[in-house]
Amino acid sequence: MFNLLKAGFLGIGVTSCIINVLALTGSFFMLQVYDRVIPSHSLPTLVGLVIIVVVLFAFYWLLDLIRCLLLGEIGRKADERYSASAFASLSQAACRKPSSGDGIQSIRDIDTLRGFLSGPGPGALFDMPWMPFYLGLCFLFHPWIGVTATIGAAIIVGLAFLAEIKSRQPTRESVELLAERMAFAQTTRRNSEVISAMGFSEELSARWVEISGRYLDSHSRAGTVSVTLSTLSRSARMLLQSGVLAVGAVLVVRQEATGGIMIASSILVSRSLAPVELAIAHWKGFAAARLAYYRLEQEAHATEETPHAVALPAPEQLLEVNNLHLGAPGSASPIIRGLSLEAKAGEVIGVVGASASGKTSLARAMVGIWPAFAGDIRLDGASLTQWSRAALGRHIGYLPQDASLFDGTIVENIARFDPEAPSERVIAAAKAAGVYDMITRFVDGFDTRIGEQGMMLSAGQRQRIGLARALYGNPFLVVLDEPNSNLDREGEQALTQAIEQIRSRQGIVLVMTHRTSVLSVCDKVLLLEAGRAKAFSPTAQVLGTGAKRIAATGSFVQLLRAGGETPR
C-alpha cells in the first residue's frame, strides 16, 4: 500500500516540514515583541511584525489545509486499494475457514483505516519527528531551558510508549467482540420471523445483553487507557510549560535571559509536545487502524488469484471425479471419502442419500466452492483449479438449497448482475426454467424489484428464478441441490423440462434430491452414505426392476442398497 501512496505521503512530508517551520512564528513574534517592541516603544515595528505574522499564519493555514486534503485523499486511495479484496473475501466466504465474526470485518477494517488516515492522527505522527528540532532551539535560548524541556519531553514520549503497550490488547479484544456482537445482531435480524413465531425473543435478549456487556467492558477498558494517558499527557504538558516559564523567570531574575526568551521558550515547548499529546489522544485509533491494515493485507494476499496463462476452451464432453476426499473449509474431518464417478455430455446424475450423507457438500465441491482434501474434479480433463473463478463460473450453473437471490430486479438476478447481459439470453434462461410467464405476470415484469434475499417473492418463486439464473448462458455443468424442495406440481414439471433441455443440448446435470419425482429424468443414481458412494446404478434399471419396492417403501435408498451397482 505504501508504494501505491508514496507520492501522497511525500507531499504530506514536504508540507509538514514547512508547517513546522512556520509554527515557529508565534515564538519568534513573542521574542521580538518583548525584546524589541516594548523596550523601544516602537509601534511601526509592531505593525510590521503583525503584518509578517498574518502572512505567515495565512501560509500556515493553507499548508495545513493542503495536508488535511492529502490525508483525506490517501484515506480514499486506501479504501480503493482494499475494497476489491475485501469484497472478494465476502464473496469467497463459503470457500474459506469460517470465522467467529459476522463476515464483514474486512469492510469495517476499511472504514477504520480510512477514518484514521483522514483524521488528525497521521498529521501528529508526521509532526513528532520535529520535536528534537524544537528542543534544540530551546537549548539555543538557554541550556537550562533545553534541559527542562528535554526532561518533560522524555516523560511525555514515555507516556506515548505506554499508550502503545497498554492499548494493543484491549483494542484487539474490542474489535473481535464487536464482530461477534454484529454477527449476533445480523443473525437475529435474518431469523426474526422464527423468533416472533416461537416467542423466544426474551431468551435471545438475555444473550444479546451478555454479548453486548462483554463488548462494552472491553471497549471501556480500551477507552479508559486512552483517556487516562491522554489527560495525563495534557496535564504533563501544561505542567512542563509552567516549569519552563519558572526556569525562564529565574534566568531573567539572574539576568541570564530576557523576558522574550522566557515567553518564547514556553510557547516553543508547548508546540514541540503538542503532536505527542495529540498522538496519545488518538493512539486507540492508531492501534485499531494498524490491526485493520494487517488484516486487510492478509485478506488481499489470501484472495489474490493466480493468473492463468492459458484460457481453456469451454468444456463440452466429460465430468470426472477422481478419488475425492472433501470436508468443510477449516475442518480436518472429511465429509466425502474416496468418491469417484464419471458423467458424459447429455447425462443426468441423481444424487440421493439420508440427511448429512454429503449431498450438499458434494454439490459445493462440484462447483468449486469447497476445495478437495485429496483427489480432484475435472471437466474435459482439466481440474477446476485450472480455471479462474470468473471463467469457471461461465461454464457452471448452480442452484443451492437456498436460492440466494440479491436485492435488485429479476433481470439482474437472472443475468448474474452482468450490466451488458443481452435481453435474449435472459429471456432464454427464463423460458428454459419455465418462469417466463410467471415473471411477465408481475406488474413490472423483469424489472420487478425482489428485495433483500428475494423477500418479495414466495419460496417457490425464489427457487424457480434461482433455476433461471443457473441456466443463464447455457452452462455445461448444472448442479441443482434440492431444486424441487419448494415447488408445486407446475414447478416440478418446469424443472423436469429444464433438465431435459440441458440433456438435449449435451450438458451435464447433477441433481441432489430426497424426492423420487425427479428421478424419472436421471440417467444414473448415486447413493451416498456417510460420505461414501454405496451404489451407482442406471435409473432405468432401478425404476424398471424396483418400482413395486419404491411404491411399498417410498424409499429409493433401500432399493439402491438392494440392487445398485458399486461405483468404480
- Show the 3-state SS of 434-487: CCHHHHHCCCCHHHCECCHHHCCCCHHHHHHHHHHHHHCCCCCEEEEECCCCCC
Question: Who contacts 280 (Cβ-Cβ below 8 Å, separation ≥6)?
Answer: 156, 159, 160, 163, 226, 229, 230, 233
CATH 3.90.650.10 corresponds to the domain 6-303: no
Is the pLDDT at 409 greater than 80? The verdict is: yes
* 3-state DSSP assignment of residue 150: helix
Run of H or E including 534: strand 532-538
382 class by beta-carbon count within 10 Å (0-12 exposed, 13-18 middle, 19+ buried) = middle
pLDDT range class, residue 305, cuts 50, 70, 90:
low
Q: What's the pLDDT score for residue 54? A: 94
Question: Who contacts 382 (Cβ-Cβ below 8 Å, separation ≥6)?
Answer: 312, 315
Least confident stretch, 10-24, 179-193, 484-498: 179-193
**Mean pLDDT of the region 339-368:** 89
Whole-model pTM?
0.71
Is the pLDDT at 344 greater than 80? The verdict is: yes
CA pair distance 46, 38, nearest whole angstrom: 9
pLDDT range class, residue 303, cuts 50, 70, 90:
low
pLDDT range class, residue 97, cuts 50, 70, 90:
low
* Secondary structure (DSSP) of 89-143: HHHTGGGS---SS-S-HHHHHHHHHHHHHTSSHHHHHHHGGGHHHHHHHHHHH-H
307 class by beta-carbon count within 10 Å (0-12 exposed, 13-18 middle, 19+ buried) = exposed
Q: What's the pLDDT score for residue 544? A: 55
Closest CA to 525 of 304, 350, 333: 350
pLDDT range class, residue 304, cuts 50, 70, 90:
low
Is the pLDDT at 307 greater than 80? The verdict is: no
Please give the CATH superfamily to which domain 317-395+475-488+503-568 belongs: P-loop containing nucleotide triphosphate hydrolases (3.40.50.300)
Is the pLDDT at 543 greater than 80? The verdict is: no
Q: What's the pLDDT score for residue 553? A: 44
Q: What's the pLDDT score for residue 396? A: 92
Least confident stretch, 82-91, 215-224, 353-362: 82-91
Cβ atoms of 360 and 328 closer than 8 Å? no
Cβ atoms of 158 and 277 closer than 8 Å? no
pLDDT range class, residue 76, cuts 50, 70, 90:
confident
The residues spanned by each domain of the chain are 6-303, 317-395+475-488+503-568, 408-473
For the chain, give percent helix, strand, coil, nearest 5: 65, 10, 25
Q: What's the pLDDT score for residue 558? A: 54
Q: What percent of the chain has pLDDT over 70?
A: 90
**Mean pLDDT of the region 511-516:** 82
**Mean pLDDT of the region 492-520:** 88
* 3-state DSSP assignment of residue 40: helix
